């Protein structure tokens, strides 16, 4: 046992690059293996990105015919940012039109996050003699973190956004060396914002934090100047987004969800109810002010995003953002995390304060809407968790090594427990999660699109409903070219038809009433249970029905 | 000069001592004020469990038997079939002699336990650190929503918490006089007869505290005393262990145990079936794996920010729902307290950590989490943590005068504002918001029927508001001996009497003419004549008493 413990520590100290390579390989395996098959289907945002990516890769324009270099893509009406789509366009060019290609940029960002956290840990804890060990531990924990693995395996922009945020922090740590690093910092910061909207709140805080860590009494003037340069350049780079004709609409769309900041009725209603019980006395105006209820709502949402069961046991209840059986981090890492927090509070007060601010501001986008807790919207905090776990693991290793035999036993036991826990998570993810989560991943839409594609050569009318945005899956899986898509007039950024296939409830009803040969595809309810054929999803569940339509009188 | 040097510290120590006791007295007076002011009226009325405790205590005081006719139950009172541990019932007995069957008599032991816990916390803080830590912790416990809420209701858990606190205190006293260890064991033992959760918490907490505070060397030196103490502990534990399979002990455990939840087994079966019962699925989704996950989740729920500092318990009888168990700002002081506790690296400080950790176990093993009452034994530990954190913050910023003054001002403002806001809400709005949950209206209903409708032979009362019989026993005039005599023959539903003298209780509305019926207004037939009604404080009618002519 002693021998194993010593070997582990020696390896950590003497061969960091080999260990890092091993961690990267493990991270890649966990993120890229079966990437196109699990999760079982493409979510609407992923397929929309895929359609735009195909169109951009073929024509340099999105599905509506706008330039690929636009600041905001209208997509199917949810106004997406350009970076992920452009990265997917490259990926589609490399791997073809498939699920793997759409998710590949996120998987790369996942592996990149491991490397970024490794570098960042060394920068953050540069005062430590064991910074190499801290950095390796941080990278290893990111590599096996369910939160990172799950979002690396789905095409969500938020995950790539946090990767660019980490890169901007890495660049900011080097900005005292040369002005070019300031420019790179601003560029990565802008890339992050052009990937995911909520990063704009986090980037300035991270930048100020990183600068404050480097600040010494001698350098402060130069650093402030560089900070101002970075932040101003970053703001200049964001001008195209703010001045985009779609910016106002995109913000309206984003703020349309019910949130703490807009829940006027609930907060004012509660305040007024209590005030009236007090006959609107002066005390009641203070004790029951509506802003106190707003702050309380916000605090409740923050608390939900910080709750230990969410972080270490159950994760996000939304099955697209978690498996429902694992927390954002593996449960055995909880003690390491707590030790990490303690060590940071004890030895790295300044760095700890920066990490705390980073974490708190990262939770803001996740805490304003009522949909809590939210693993996707709080993704900007992923790096923070890696750093805390890294320092916690380093403290544990240090303690174990100082205790000789007993310490080695504990070290190996801890290592084994984490590996078993990872194994249990992956076993559930590979075996049970696909069928458990099939519905939320729109399982069946690919099969429906393939069915429609197989019938389009028959020269009959085709109508599809089920999901009103089915045109996206059809365009993606039927291999519709970007050029063809651009020629079709959109209604509210949605294509009412592609070739002979019409989409939407009205189209379906028209097809059912029409006196011509064709197929109607929809849910069994839409077809009044009059189904001649069922379309099954990859999980084996019947999702859609098909009705063969013939002219009246024909047999 | 020499004389001065030797005398001065003694004088100043005495002064500090006097100052300490004076401030502690003030804090205890404050705690008493907060716990005793309008005790009978806020919460507005007795919950059915309180009424049952009150009537059982009255029955014991009058006849030496509970109202089911059991003479001096030792382990638990059957009550409504939930077999509550017996100690709280006996503490109510003297107050029933003094004050009769009243709300105050039922709640007074809990309120006094709350006040005494404040004293225990001050002393624990003083012995662990210094006097000021104890005083601040005591002050915080005196004003914390968690403690006030539970102290103003006849909850047995508060008595158990007081006994546990004094148990810990006596272990600390035993560092100087070992004989305190015997008292400590007796207190830990007694707490197991006050509340179910203490049957898990007391042995663990007692053991950990003794081991940490005294250490193996002291134990070895005083082995005889320690063995005697262990013997006392076993003496208290023996009746519980012997009766483990007796419904008196097992019934409650079976009802509330997490293992009684069939959903986990169902989920395990579904998940395994999805995997065609493969070997991996048998391990991965084994019921014990899933139970383990649930236990861990419930354990962690106790420490969630939302529960502790924002909203508290979902059950409005256990909290106001406007405040958490602690004040919002205590999120900071508790965290700093935990940090300081670990930083100090003295073994006694682990008593607090162990106390907090062990207190969470009963909630983890039972249904419903988080749960204010089952977790209550952690309240003194949280007060100590919060007090420690508060002092550490103030001392940390003492170096910088401006920052120090501003922080102090912030602390005082937050402290005063949240305390005032809590008191305002608790005494002004909480009674109205929670009146239904406290079964408001029964007292008014019974007293009116008892005074104005004496001549009626039979009165029918619906069970819509829950367990009416106990209120007719508590506020009515039925002879307790008669109630005990009828216990074997009268119809019951889970130990709840379905008839008390002329009152009958049921779920159906009778059609008999001339029969006086008490029901909700919605159940009153249009043709019936209403004799009187009872309304909630917000004006909503809760009871309608009517008859068909």
| Per-residue model confidence (pLDDT) at position B7 | 44
| Per-residue model confidence (pLDDT) at position A467 | 62
| Per-residue model confidence (pLDDT) at position B397 | 81
| Per-residue model confidence (pLDDT) at position A319 | 96
Q: How many percent of chain A have pLDDT more than 90?
A: 69
Report helix angle B156-173 to B198-221, nearest 10.
10
- Judged by CB atoms closer than 8 Å, whether chains meet at A303 and B274 is answered as no
A72 pLDDT exceeds 90?
yes
Cβ-count burial A230-258 (b if 16+ within 10 Å, e if not): bbebbeebbebbeebebeeebeeeeeeee
| Per-residue model confidence (pLDDT) at position A555 | 45
| Per-residue model confidence (pLDDT) at position A520 | 86
- Kindly report the average pLDDT of chain B as a whole number: 90
Q: Which residues contact A286 (CB under 8 A, 6 or more apart)?
A: none
- Judged by CB atoms closer than 8 Å, whether chains meet at B293 and A313 is answered as yes
Instruction: Compute the Cα dihedral for A342, A343, A348, A352 and give only its sign.
Output: negative
Nearest to B429 among A277, A303, A331 (CB): A277
Provide mean pLDDT across the span A200-216: 91
Provide mean pLDDT across the span A116-121: 97
- Judged by CB atoms closer than 8 Å, whether chains meet at B274 and A436 is answered as yes
| Per-residue model confidence (pLDDT) at position B408 | 82
Task: Provide the token pair at B52.
Answer: 């049952």
Q: Which residues contact A393 (CB under 8 A, 6 or more apart)?
A: A134, A137, A138, A140, A141, A336, A340
- Judged by CB atoms closer than 8 Å, whether chains meet at B428 and A278 is answered as yes
A20-49 tens-digit pLDDT: 999 999 999 999 999 999 999 999 999 999
Nearest to B306 among A284, A303, A431 (CB): A303
Question: CA-nearest residue of chain B to A295?
Answer: B310
Tabulate helix, strand, coil % of chain B (nearest 5).
65, 5, 30
Instruction: Compute the Cα dihedral for A193, A195, A197, A201 and give only its sign.
Output: negative
Q: How far is A29 from chain B (nearest CA, A)?
A: 21
How many contacts does A have with B, using Cβ atoms within 8 A? 69
Q: Which residues contact B401 (CB under 8 A, 6 or more apart)?
A: none
- Judged by CB atoms closer than 8 Å, whether chains meet at B278 and A424 is answered as no
A221 pLDDT exceeds 80?
no
CA distance readout (Å), B259 to A470, B262, B357: 45, 8, 21
Provide mean pLDDT across the span A84-99: 96
B482 pLDDT exceeds 80?
yes
Question: CA angle B317-B320-B325, nearest 5°?
Answer: 95
- Judged by CB atoms closer than 8 Å, whether chains meet at B343 and A428 is answered as no
ipTM > 0.90 (yes/no)? no
pTM of the shown model? 0.89
Confidence class of residue A230 from pLDDT cuts 50, 70 and 90?
Answer: very high
Q: How many percent of chain A have pLDDT more than 70?
A: 95
Task: Provide the token pair at A360.
Answer: 């708190």
A133 pLDDT exceeds 80?
yes
- Judged by CB atoms closer than 8 Å, whether chains meet at A274 and B285 is answered as no
- Judged by CB atoms closer than 8 Å, whether chains meet at B429 and A300 is answered as no
Q: How far is A548 from chain B (nearest CA, A)?
A: 33
Provide mean pLDDT across the span B474-478: 92
CA gap A62, A85 in Å, rounded: 9
Confidence class of residue B14 from pLDDT cuts 50, 70 and 90?
Answer: low
| Per-residue model confidence (pLDDT) at position A8 | 60
| Per-residue model confidence (pLDDT) at position A228 | 92
| Per-residue model confidence (pLDDT) at position A180 | 94
- What residues in A contact B328, CB-CB < 8 Å? 296, 299
Per-domain boundaries in chain B: 15-263+289-432, 442-548
B81 pLDDT exceeds 60?
yes
- What residues in B contact A330, CB-CB < 8 Å? none
A6 pLDDT exceeds 80?
no
Provide mean pLDDT across the span A151-156: 96
- Kindly report the average pLDDT of chain A as a whole number: 90
B205-220 tens-digit pLDDT: 999 999 999 988 999 9
Question: CA-nearest residue of chain B to A345?
Answer: B339
Contact A7, A15 (CB under 8 A): no
| Per-residue model confidence (pLDDT) at position A255 | 78
Kindly write down the DSSP assignment for every residue of A294-310, as one continuous string. Answer: HHHHHHHHHHHHH-HHI
* 3 state DSSP class of B154: coil
Tell me the residues of A at the B interface, defined by beta carbons under 8 Å apart: 274, 277-278, 283-284, 287, 296, 299-300, 302-304, 306-309, 312-314, 325, 331, 342, 345-346, 424, 427-428, 431-432, 435-436
- What residues in B contact A431, CB-CB < 8 Å? 275, 278, 280-281, 284
Q: How far is A67 from chain B (nearest CA, A)?
A: 47
Question: CA-nearest residue of chain B to A314?
Answer: B297
Q: How many percent of chain B have pLDDT more than 90?
A: 70
Confidence class of residue B12 from pLDDT cuts 50, 70 and 90?
Answer: low
| Per-residue model confidence (pLDDT) at position B10 | 45
A269 pLDDT exceeds 70?
yes
- Judged by CB atoms closer than 8 Å, whether chains meet at B296 and A274 is answered as no
Nearest to B296 among A284, A313, A431 (CB): A313
Quick one: which of B157, B153, B146 has its CA closest to B88? Answer: B157
Contact B113, B162 (CB under 8 A): yes
Q: How far is A401 from chain B (nearest CA, A)?
A: 20
- Judged by CB atoms closer than 8 Å, whether chains meet at A431 and B281 is answered as yes
Query: Alpha-carbon dihedral of residues B514, B518, B523, B525, nearest 10 degrees?
Result: 20
Provide mean pLDDT across the span A455-479: 81
A366-385 tens-digit pLDDT: 999 888 899 999 999 999 99
- Judged by CB atoms closer than 8 Å, whether chains meet at A307 and B280 is answered as no
Provide mean pLDDT across the span B194-202: 94
Confidence class of residue B344 from pLDDT cuts 50, 70 and 90?
Answer: confident
Provide mean pLDDT across the span B121-131: 93
Provide mean pLDDT across the span B132-155: 96
Q: How far is A303 from chain B (nearest CA, A)?
A: 5
Contact A340, A167 (CB under 8 A): no
Tell me the residues of B at the A interface, defined by beta carbons under 8 Å apart: 271, 274-275, 278, 280-281, 284-285, 293, 296-297, 300-301, 303-306, 309-311, 328, 339, 342-343, 420-421, 424-425, 428-429, 432
- Judged by CB atoms closer than 8 Å, whether chains meet at A431 and B328 is answered as no
CA gap A460, A516 in Å, rounded: 8
Q: How far is B110 from chain A (nearest CA, A)?
A: 29
CA distance readout (Å), A393 to A45, A130, A137, A313, A397: 37, 11, 6, 19, 6
| Per-residue model confidence (pLDDT) at position B189 | 96
The Cα diameter of chain B in Å comes to 99
Helices (H), B360-441: 361-364, 379-396, 401-424, 430-433
CA atoms within 13 A on the CB side of A229: 17
| Per-residue model confidence (pLDDT) at position B345 | 72
Confidence class of residue A2 from pLDDT cuts 50, 70 and 90?
Answer: low
Confidence class of residue B4 from pLDDT cuts 50, 70 and 90?
Answer: very low
| Per-residue model confidence (pLDDT) at position A439 | 92
Which residue in A40, A275, A280, A287 has the most chain B C-beta atoms within 10 A of its own C-beta, making it the best mutation to test that interface?
Answer: A287
- What residues in B contact A338, CB-CB < 8 Å? none
CA gap A224, A214 in Å, rounded: 11
């Amino acid at each position: 046992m002693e021998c194993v413990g010593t070997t582990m520590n020696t390896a950590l100290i003497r061969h960091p690059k080999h260990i890092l390579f091993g961690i990267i390989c493990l991270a890649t395996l966990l993120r890229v293996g079966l990437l196109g098959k699990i999760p079982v289907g493409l979510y609407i945002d992923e397929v929309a990105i895929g359609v735009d990516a195909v169109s951009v890769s073929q024509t340099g324009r999105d599905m509506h015919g706008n330039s690929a270099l636009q600041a905001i893509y209208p997509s199917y009406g949810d106004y997406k940012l350009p970076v992920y789509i452009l990265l997917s366009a490259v990926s589609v060019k490399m791997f073809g039109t498939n699920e793997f290609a759409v998710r590949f940029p996120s998987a790369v960002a996942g592996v990149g996050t491991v490397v970024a956290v490794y570098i960042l840990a060394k920068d953050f804890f540069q005062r430590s003699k064991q910074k190499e060990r801290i950095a390796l531990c941080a990278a290893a924990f990111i590599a096996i973190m369910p939160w990172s693995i799950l979002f690396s395996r789905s095409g969500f922009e938020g995950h790539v956004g946090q990767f660019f945020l980490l890169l901007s922090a890495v660049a900011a740590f080097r900005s005292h060396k040369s002005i070019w690093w300031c420019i790179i910092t601003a560029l990565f910061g802008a890339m992050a914002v052009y990937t995911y909207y909520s990063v704009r709140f986090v980037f300035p805080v991270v930048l100020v934090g990183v600068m404050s860590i480097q600040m010494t009494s001698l350098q402060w003037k130069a650093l402030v100047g560089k900070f101002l340069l970075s932040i101003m350049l970053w703001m200049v780079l964001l001008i195209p987004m703010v001045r985009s004709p779609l910016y106002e609409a995109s913000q309206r769309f984003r703020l349309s969800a019910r949130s703490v900041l807009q829940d006027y009725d609930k907060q004012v209603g509660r305040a007024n109810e209590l005030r009236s019980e007090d006959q609107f006395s002066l005390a009641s105006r203070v004790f029951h002010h509506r802003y106190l209820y707003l702050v309380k709502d916000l605090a409740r949402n923050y608390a939900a995003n910080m709750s230990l069961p969410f972080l270490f046991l159950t994760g996000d209840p939304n099955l697209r953002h978690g498996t429902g059986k694992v927390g954002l981090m593996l449960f055995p890492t909880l003690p390491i995390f707590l030790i990490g927090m303690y060590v940071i509070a004890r030895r790295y007060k300044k760095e700890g304060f920066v990490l705390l601010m980073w974490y708190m501001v990262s939770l803001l986008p996740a805490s304003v809407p009522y949909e809590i807790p939210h693993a996707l919207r709080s993704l900007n905090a992923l790096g923070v968790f890696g750093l805390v776990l890294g320092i916690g693991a380093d403290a544990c290793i240090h303690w174990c090594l100082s205790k000789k035999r007993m310490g080695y036993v504990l070290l190996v036991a801890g290592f084994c427990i984490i590996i078993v826990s990872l194994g249990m998570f992956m076993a559930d993810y590979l075996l049970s999660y696909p069928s458990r989560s099939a519905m939320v991943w729109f399982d069946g839409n690919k099969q429906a699109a393939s069915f429609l594609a197989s019938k389009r050569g028959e020269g009959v009318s085709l109508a599809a409903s089920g999901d009103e945005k089915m045109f996206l899956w059809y365009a993606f899986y039927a291999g519709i070219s970007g050029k063809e898509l651009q020629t079709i007039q959109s209604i509210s950024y949605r294509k009412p038809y592609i070739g002979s296939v019409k989409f939407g409830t009205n189209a379906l009803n028209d097809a059912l009433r029409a006196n011509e040969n064709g197929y109607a595809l929809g849910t069994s309810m839409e077809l009044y249970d009059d189904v001649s054929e069922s379309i099954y999803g990859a999980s084996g569940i019947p999702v859609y029905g098909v009705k063969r339509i013939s002219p009246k009188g024909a047999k | 000069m020499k004389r001065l040097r030797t005398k001065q510290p003694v004088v100043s120590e005495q002064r500090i001592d006097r100052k300490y006791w004076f401030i502690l007295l003030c804090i205890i007076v404050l705690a008493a004020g907060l716990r005793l002011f309008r005790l009978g009226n806020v919460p507005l009325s007795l919950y059915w469990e309180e009424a049952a405790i009150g009537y059982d205590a009255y029955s014991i005081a009058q006849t030496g038997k509970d109202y089911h006719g059991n003479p001096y139950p030792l382990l638990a009172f059957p009550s409504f079939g939930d077999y509550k541990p017996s100690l709280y019932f006996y503490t109510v007995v003297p107050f029933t002699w003094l004050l009769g069957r009243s709300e105050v008599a039922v709640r007074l032991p809990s309120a006094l336990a709350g006040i005494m816990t404040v004293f225990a916390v001050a002393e624990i803080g003083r012995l662990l650190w210094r006097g000021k830590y104890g005083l601040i912790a005591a002050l915080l416990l005196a004003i914390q929503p968690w403690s006030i809420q539970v102290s103003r209701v006849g909850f047995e858990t508060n008595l158990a918490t007081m006994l546990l606190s004094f148990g810990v205190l006596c272990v600390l006293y035993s560092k100087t006089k070992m004989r305190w260890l015997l008292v400590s064991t007796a207190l830990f033992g007694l707490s197991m007869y006050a509340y179910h959760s203490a049957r898990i918490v007391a042995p663990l907490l007692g053991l950990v505290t003794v081991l940490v505070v005294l250490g193996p060397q002291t134990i070895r030196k005083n082995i005889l005393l320690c063995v005697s103490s262990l013997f006392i502990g076993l003496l208290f534990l023996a009746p519980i262990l012997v009766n483990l399979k007796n419904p008196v002990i097992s019934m409650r455990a079976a009802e509330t145990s997490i293992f009684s939840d069939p959903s986990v087994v169902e989920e395990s079966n579904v998940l395994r079936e999805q995997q065609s019962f493969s070997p991996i699925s048998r391990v991965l989704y084994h019921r014990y794996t899933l139970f383990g996950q649930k236990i861990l989740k419930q354990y962690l729920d106790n420490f969630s920010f939302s529960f502790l500092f924002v909203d508290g318990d979902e059950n409005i009888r256990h909290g106001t729902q406007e405040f958490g168990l602690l004040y919002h700002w205590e999120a900071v002081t508790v965290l700093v307290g935990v940090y300081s506790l670990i930083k100090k690296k003295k073994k006694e400080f682990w008593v607090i950590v162990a106390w907090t950790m062990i207190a969470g176990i009963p909630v983890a093993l039972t249904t419903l989490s988080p749960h204010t009452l089952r977790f209550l034994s952690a309240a003194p530990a949280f007060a100590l943590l919060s007090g420690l954190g508060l002092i550490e913050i103030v001392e940390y910023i003492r170096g910088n005068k401006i920052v120090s003054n501003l922080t102090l001002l912030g602390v005082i403002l937050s402290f005063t504002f949240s305390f005032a806001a809590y008191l305002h809400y608790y005494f002004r709005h909480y009674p109205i918001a929670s009146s239904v949950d406290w079964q408001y209206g029964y007292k008014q209903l019974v007293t009116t029927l008892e005074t104005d409708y004496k001549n009626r032979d039979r009165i029918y009362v619906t069970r819509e508001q829950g367990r009416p019989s106990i209120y007719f026993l508590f506020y009515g005039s039925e002879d307790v001996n008669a109630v005990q005599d009828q216990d074997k023959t009268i119809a019951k539903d889970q130990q709840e009497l379905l008839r008390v003298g002329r009152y009958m209780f049921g779920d159906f509305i009778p059609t008999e003419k001339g029969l006086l019926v008490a029901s909700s207004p919605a159940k009153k037939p249009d043709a019936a004549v209403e004799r009187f009604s009872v309304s909630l404080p917000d004006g909503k009618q809760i009871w309608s008493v009517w008859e068909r002519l």
